[in-house]
Structure 1
């Protein structure tokens, strides 16, 4: 294992400044015990959404004497904030950008698993009738996205490729729900978002893709645990990893059935869900040091734009070994 360098985290840290603590305060009242896995996830956490809908994890963890406590978050940043504050034990998939901000705040996190790249599963959108034709046309425009999400890095990388900097646009930090509303009303000129929100906007508003992550940002999603929990219950994490791996294979082999399960959970039609799922790899694999190379590029890009308070060494983390 690669051991993490830990620093004390307070509400004044990077995540405290950026994320909402409301969910964390509520979770804190419940406390933590090794016989309860407090699991945080987002709407876009496809594999976890499937396992939750099918009751698979409960069945897998019951013989280990472990119960599940489910907690939904609007985006990855407040999710990892709750994890770092010891108010969650496990975080379902967050975009590659999010752990960088957690590390900048001194979070003690263990990387449990990684989904292989899905570069086209996030994109910069403009309305069908927008005069914006290229990324370079975003100069001086108002662009909406979730702060510290993978979409944030995609925007920075796409702007750099077009010869622009982050300072050349007017950022609007919005949750996916707020971003969709602002996009439809014209309050923002472009919207950077990920699936299934991306597919929903394409199909329901005929939004046009200005650029996706292909050749710019590979968009790998990570599953993380609180390091103390990982040390206390590696058996639980091995069981969760195994179910995630199986669920990932099942989604790709059974796209229609997966969409039918997710439709009532996401409130989307099955065709939209199939389109979104086709762009995600869902190939769950262990996290190895060599696989974190892009993490450093992401961290350095945010530092260059003065969006991180200090340089982050993305290899200074703990890696979980599911086969150990």
Structure 2
């Protein structure tokens, strides 16, 4: 079912995920609207001002909006409230399935499967994904960890029907996991690195070829202003280069942004390799495999064509 921009904006506002979106004032110069999360390259881009520096000569401004996860960020993009954002691998697949012409893949970061995992308490009798049968698992619906859970279960001959799934955002999933309301948690960094140290990992994104962060542009923005999309990507690449050479400053910035201890952020960053990469046939095929897998699991009514949303930009 497709919703109008007004309907989606109303839902997101009610969920408290759009409070940070500053609408363009009447008479203002052109503005690019970027959605970001507390962790990742885009929060660094916002803090360092590389994008503002690149756009200022053309009289173009930047408006930033923070989101708790990729799915609500892309809902805002589909609604026309954003032009550009970054999410994990699964959210754009869901968007393409319901709104095939809503977005384009603009680029990605190097895959980091270790940045997402299914964890259980160290004292748990659960030793493998196969042991999840009949157990309670927390995951964020439509986030990349959702694919990790589905693909990991399938790899061990199980389906989502074999477990009791609690669809929770990280802020609600963590206390549910720590108090034993769920038996396992499928989660991504930095929340993964910030989880109680007394845990055990039973699967990671490396096991299912997951863990890629993508940059997405609203299709209308791309079609109207492909050169501006490239300008944004150039600023992202500059920020990635800076981040790769200023790890201590990155740790400090992300610790402030997330509220996590610097050592937690450092553990998370140790897994990453900063660097903007183009969409290639292999990357597109990986996304298509995720789309096919979710359709086979009965979680998508249609199979999106990933290649149709991956124009050559870099």
Contact 2:136 2:184 in 1 (8 A): yes
Task: State the 1:186 CA deviation.
Answer: 0.9
Partners of 1:74 and 1:50 lie apart in 2 by 16
Task: Identify the range of structure 1 (27-36 vs 309-318) with the bigger mean alpha-carbon deviation.
Answer: 27-36
Question: Alignment partner for residue 208 of structure 1, among 194, 200, 208?
Answer: 200
Other-structure match for 1:68: 62
User: 1:129, 1:19 → 2: CA distance?
Assistant: 40
Deviations 1:83-111 (A, max 9, x none): 011111111x2111111100111242121
> Residues 184, 118 of structure 1: CA spacing in aligned structure 2 closer, same or farther, 3 A cutoff?
same
The secondary structure found in structure 1 opposite 2:46 is helix
Q: Distance in 2 between matches of 1:65 and 1:241?
A: 18
Distance in 2, matches of 1:268 and 1:149, equals 21
Partner residue of 1:37 out of 14, 24, 32: 32
Query: SS in structure 2 opposite 1:279?
Result: coil
Match of 2:277 in 1: 285
How far is 1:146 from its partner?
A: 0.6
Check conservation: 2:120, 2:202, Cα contact below 8 A: yes
Distance 1:18 1:57, change over 3 A: closer
Within 5 Å, give how 1:184-223 maps onto structure 2: 184-201=178-195, 204-223=196-215
* 1:99 is the counterpart of 2:92: yes
Find the counterpart in structure 2 of residue 316 from structure 1: 308
Give, in whole Å, the separation in 2 of the partners of 1:215 and 1:80: 26
Q: CA RMSD in A?
A: 2.8
In the alignment, the residues of structure 2 paired with residue 252 and residue 207 of structure 1 have an alpha-carbon distance, to the nearest angstrom, of: 29
Q: Give the whole-Å Cα distance in 2 for the aligned partners of 1:83 and 1:301.
A: 24
| TM-fit CA distance, 1:37 | 0.9
TM-score between both structures, scaled by the size of structure 1: 0.87
Q: Which runs of 5+ in 1 are unaligned?
A: 1-6
Q: 1:48 to 1:83 in 2, by over 3 A?
A: same
CA deviation string 1:92-137 (max 9, x = no partner):
x211111110011124212111112111110001112212111111
Counterpart residue number, 1:237: 229
Give 5+ residue unaligned stretches, structure 2. Answer: none
8 Å contact from structure 2 (residues 38, 254) kept in 1: no
Aligned equivalents of 2:188, 2:45: Cα separation in 1: 21
User: TM-score when scaled to structure 2?
Assistant: 0.90
1:16–1:96 CA distance, 2 compared to 1 (3 A): farther
- 2: distance between equivalents of 1:297 and 1:19? 33
Flag the 1:36–1:151 CA change in 2: closer, same or farther, 3 A.
Answer: same
| Greater CA drift, 313-322 or 289-298 | 313-322
Partner of 2:148: 154
Q: Is the 8 A contact 1:28 1:87 kept in 2?
A: no
Q: CA deviation at 1:172?
A: 0.6
Instruction: Map 1:163-178; keep pairs closer than 5 Å.
Output: 163-178=157-172
CA-to-partner distance for each residue in 1:30-49, whole Å, 9 max, x for gaps?
489871011111223x1111
Q: Corresponding residue for 1:4? A: none
Provide the C-alpha distance between the structure 2 equivalents of 1:294 and 1:20, rounded to a whole number of angstroms: 34
